[in-house]
């Protein structure tokens, strides 16, 4: 039996938007094992300057990431789509061990297999130091972004 993660390609505007929000919710869980299950077993990533392949490597990468990026909160937004590819922009806020806050901005290109699992992910990300009073992402850290919390466009990001 093969794994499936609906919605599956070919994407429509509605299903692409749902796929992006599902990814946002998953990443906001900060659970590397949960997040890894939406990728093919041999998924290939470029994240910044790091190249990652396979779920085991994804889990290791995400574990390191969320140990360093504390109080992580992410918002994703669909930018464009085709049958099996999505272009996504995102921003997330976090602080380091010393309490310094950052907002990281980026773009991702995703490619999916027929079962809706992501087989390729290319991410370009830049970090901007921010003051605590410049933060914009406020919701319970233990859960997804509430439906009434503004998205990136609403926040002018």
Q: For the chain, what are the domain ranges?
A: 13-134
pLDDT at 1: 46
If you average pLDDT over every residue of the chain, what do you get? 96
* CA separation for the pair 54, 78 (Å, rounded): 25
* CA separation for the pair 115, 86 (Å, rounded): 15
Quote the percentage of the chain above a pLDDT of 70.
98
Does residue 121 surpass a pLDDT of 90?
Answer: yes
pLDDT tens-digit series, residues 22-77: 999 999 999 999 999 999 999 999 999 999 999 999 999 999 999 999 999 999 99
Does residue 4 surpass a pLDDT of 70?
Answer: yes
Asked whether the beta carbons of 13 and 123 are under 8 A apart, the reply is: no
pLDDT at 143: 79
pLDDT at 140: 85
The DSSP secondary structure of 7-69, one letter per residue, reads S-SSP-HHHHHHHHHHHHHHHHTT-HHHHHTTEEEEEEEEETTEEEESHHHHHHHHHHHHHHS
Mean of pLDDT values over 84-110: 98
99: left (phi over 0), alpha (psi -120 to 50) or beta: left
Domain 13-134 classification at class level: alpha beta
Sorted by sequence, the CB contacts under 8 Å of residue 137 that are 6+ apart come out as 73, 74, 75, 91, 92, 93, 145, 149
Does residue 153 surpass a pLDDT of 90?
Answer: yes
- pTM score: 0.96
* CA separation for the pair 96, 102 (Å, rounded): 8
């Amino acid at each position: 039996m093969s794994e499936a993660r609906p919605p599956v390609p070919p994407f429509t505007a509605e299903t692409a938007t749902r796929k992006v929000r599902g990814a946002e919710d998953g990443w906001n869980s900060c659970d590397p094992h949960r997040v890894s299950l939406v990728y093919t077993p041999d998924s290939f990533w470029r994240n910044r300057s790091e190249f990652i392949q396979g779920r085991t490597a994804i889990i290791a990468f995400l574990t390191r990431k969320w140990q360093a990026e504390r109080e992580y909160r992410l918002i994703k937004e669909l930018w464009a789509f085709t049958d099996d590819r999505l272009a996504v922009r995102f921003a997330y806020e976090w602080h380091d061990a010393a309490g310094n806050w950052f907002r990281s901005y980026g773009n991702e290109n995703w490619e999916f297999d027929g079962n809706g699992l992501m087989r390729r992910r290319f991410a370009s990300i830049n970090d901007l130091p921010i003051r605590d009073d410049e933060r914009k992402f406020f919701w319970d850290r233990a859960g997804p972004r509430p439906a009434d919390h503004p998205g990136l466009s609403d926040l002018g990001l």
